Structure 1
Amino acid sequence: MEFDELELDPQEFGGFFFPCVDWLVSEGVIRVKDIHRYMGSNHSGVVDRPVLTSYGFQLLEQKISVGADAERLANRVKEVSSNGVGYANVGDLIGGILGGFTKSIGS
């Protein structure tokens, strides 16, 4: 998975990509085979084989605050999916979670 797959503005959100990935790994939400960061950019690189852990699946049922509203994380991911982003595999799902998380931090 690469930052470009999230279809986010690199100027606005690029700096959050690897810190978000690192945080999700350290919290046990996802597991990755490896992370390759390219020199000269704060968002270029590859996250190799990201997968949700069982804890990550549990978190999908938790309520999160997005602005003034609280909703289940799974509903938020589903909403993003219905707006044109298809989740064909778990890597795409994680990308959607990362994208939503990155947008919420940047706001």
Structure 2
Amino acid sequence: MTTSNIKRFDELTGQVLGVLYEQFPVPHFLALGKLVPDGYSYDETSGGDAPNEQGLFFFACVDWLAESGYLRYKEKNHHYGYHDGVLTAKGLEVLKAIPESLSTGPTLGDQLIDASKSGAKGMLGKVAEQALSIGVRIASKQLGLPD
């Protein structure tokens, strides 16, 4: 069974945001090889490893997160990753939120860190989905749109 792009996106988003939350406010290198270990394949043209479909998906996800205002970085290396990645104010605000289903408890960022360390990809995806939903609600309020 193939994993849908949305599920893959949610899981990878959870990993990326979890790493940045844990390192905040210190900039961190978002390395393709670390976050997506199978993101490279041998390329005969260049005679070495190059990002494959999974690697390109990683770059698309991080680019989207940056364009949507959740993180920023200083430089993108199209082969290895992103230099000096850090959460933006919006990203931090979202990850410091406590899910509505809980009156108290760990923040979404703390949940991402725990899920990442335990290897629970499904949980990473679910928490990332919640975080992105909160981000949309925050943006909607700022624009004066109804929830």
With the shorter chain as reference, the TM-score category is 0.5 to 0.7
| Aligned-partner SS, 1:9 | coil
Q: Distance in 2 between matches of 1:51 and 1:35?
A: 13
Unaligned segments of structure 1, at least 5 residues = 38-43, 64-71, 85-99
Change in Cα spacing, 1:21 to 1:7, as seen in structure 2 (3 Å) is: closer
C-alpha deviation, 1:78, in angstroms: 2.8
Runs of 4+ in 1 over 4 A off after TM superposition: none
C-alpha deviation, 1:6, in angstroms: 1.3
Structure 2 counterpart of 1:4, which letter? G
Bigger-Rg structure (1/2): 2
C-alpha deviation, 1:7, in angstroms: 4.8
Q: Distance in 1 between matches of 2:82 and 2:53?
A: 20
Q: Does 1:9 align with 2:21?
A: no
Aligned alpha-carbon RMSD (Å):
3.1
C-alpha deviation, 1:75, in angstroms: 4.3
Unaligned segments of structure 2, at least 5 residues = 1-29, 40-51, 100-106, 129-147
The normalised TM-score by structure 2 is 0.41
Q: Distance in 2 between matches of 1:13 and 1:62?
A: 31
Q: Distance in 2 between matches of 1:48 and 1:80?
A: 24
Q: Does 1:36 align with 2:65?
A: no
CA displacement, residues 34-81 of structure 1 (integer Å, 9 cap, x when unaligned): 1121xxxxxx32301000011001111265xxxxxxxx6324313225
